[in-house]
Amino acid sequence: GGQFKREVTVDGQSHLLLIREEAGAPDAQFASWADAVIFVFSLESESSFEEVTQLHALLSDLRGTSDVALALVGTQDKISSSSPRAVEDARARALCGDARRCLYYETCATYGLNVDR
């Protein structure tokens, strides 16, 4: 876990993001103060996608996700012939589609794909 600050511009307005990296499952305190949650998983790891699915369900039980902005991010930095993609785009989009106010991105830090987005 860690804490970070980043200034971003959205629709012409500047916003200061106070980002807190959490490890493990959200608890009631986390669910009560979070305005947005970014769930990150590895596209080559079925277990990481299953864990994100469980964390999403837990957050939904604690607070409901209709009033929390959500983003689901699949990372693809380690996809190769020896480590193929395990989670298809449609499955990730379906999880995101189960929640209102959820965006889905696939990223690759190695190539800069959707990192700033």
Q: What is the residue extent of each domain of the chain?
A: 35-105
The pLDDT, as a whole number, for residue 100 is 64
Q: Which CATH superfamily is domain 35-105 in?
A: P-loop containing nucleotide triphosphate hydrolases (3.40.50.300)
Query: 74 - beta bridge partners?
Result: 41, 106
Structure tokens at 44: 């080559």
pTM for this one?
0.78
Q: Which of 53, 98, 92, 95 is nearest to 106 (CA)?
A: 92
Residue 47 pLDDT level (bands cut at 50, 70, 90): very high
Tens digits of per-residue pLDDT, 66-112? 778 888 999 887 767 777 778 888 888 888 876 667 888 998 877 77
Burial degree of 112 (CB within 10 A; 0-12, 13-18, 19+): exposed
